[in-house]
Structure 1
């Protein structure tokens, strides 16, 4: 085949695809949107690939056909099927965002909180620490804690009150520095 003939065939193919694009752009995109479940980016990719395949096979297309939409729809459907099969074969993609922004289970933060709170509770005077441990950590009522510690109920309430105040101050200090 001569160089002139190749150039003429390319020009004819381009004209056919331009004509297809002008006439079928909107209905093809609507069809692709339906095929892809409304995913506009994927639908645009499918429509574009359909037009590329039409351009590659332009010499096989019948310009005298009543409508090229059935052929375009068949090609688009096959592209979507191939995409779905390819997605099922390879591992699931994580998304477009950088990995540092992908939510994940943070195991360090809870551990650090436990260490800070434990140190703060250890820093309390013994009577206040015992009242906090019995009421908050062992989840005992004030009455039960008073019986266990062998002190009046009012004393347990007072110790817990002052312990919580001291803990607030103690836990606020590291954040300020």
Structure 2
């Protein structure tokens, strides 16, 4: 029993250390997104609750703890914004009136999205990553990219298609709703 208690205590200390390291930054992110201190506190609490519950799914080889927590926070903020959208009367109950319009991403959310996509791109193969970055992120024409890579356009399109599938899977593995 003493051994189990030590293990449980170590897990709590890890969560406490994660909270000490990332809690204030997560709170600021949620506050900027939602404009409500109470809702931001709820988001941070939910982030660490979900992280604690999904602790076994966290793999430091795949993403940093910070990226993983922000991916969870992004999902929780989206859930909270949806809750406000479904129950608009709750906006009147908050301490702020500058809540972002439903579905509109603020600069902080776009930054977190960029971190998540960058982390997910690291998880897919280099050929798929190059195809997606060149065509989707840089907006280059398929024919131009294919010529530069020395491959047929059809091969590039196939790499983009399967790369996007791999990217979605990588994001799901990170706990992000694509």
TM-score for the superposition, normalised by structure 2: 0.42
Larger radius of gyration: 1
Bigger relative contact order (CA 8 A; separation at least 6): 2
TM-score for the superposition, normalised by structure 1: 0.43
